[in-house]
Amino acid sequence: MTSRRLVVAAAIVDDLTGPRRLLSARRSRPLHLAGRWEFPGGKVDPGETPTQALHRELHEELGVVAELGDEIVGPDDGAWIITDRHVMRLWLARVVEGEPQPLVEHDELAWLPVGDWFSVPWLDADVRIVEELTRQVSRGAV
């Protein structure tokens, strides 16, 4: 049986009840992921709950405090299989303290307006997640 490591990430938006802008982050490492865009986040460490890990990652990577909104539930037992070795859970989030900066792991951030969410080359596994987010926003589900 394959057991995948849990990654947690945030779809950071300007407004949790009517998102117009989505924050995307460009990876600077490792080399095979550099230049591709993703949701900020990272692996859950032993002893952490998923949401504790997400708050820690957002603080380390972007220097912000965020409030979490709804989870974007995926098709793989409620999560999103992203690689052979990782499965991801993702929450909507809104920054409540600080201005996001690309502190580690990323070399650029972009606030993408609705309609332009596919204007950056997302990591392959993220494409279906951005599609789902787009669907939910366009039908007013988030």
Residues within the interface to ligand 8DG (CB under 6 A): 7, 9, 33, 38-39, 41-43, 82-83, 86, 88, 105, 123, 125-126
Residue 69: both structure tokens together: 């909104």
Q: How far is the CB of 140 from ligand 8DG (least distance, A)?
A: 24
Residues 6+ apart with CB under 8 A from 130: 22, 117, 118, 122
Cα four-point dihedral sign 126, 127, 128, 130? positive
Residue with smallest beta-carbon separation from ligand 8DG: 42
Instruction: Please identify, using beta-carbon distances, which residue of 68 and 123 lies nearer to ligand 8DG.
Output: 123
Cα–Cα distance for residue pair 51/20, rounded to 1 Å: 24
Nearer to ligand 8DG by Cβ, of 30 and 140: the residue is 30
Cβ-based nearer residue to ligand 8DG, 9 or 79: 9
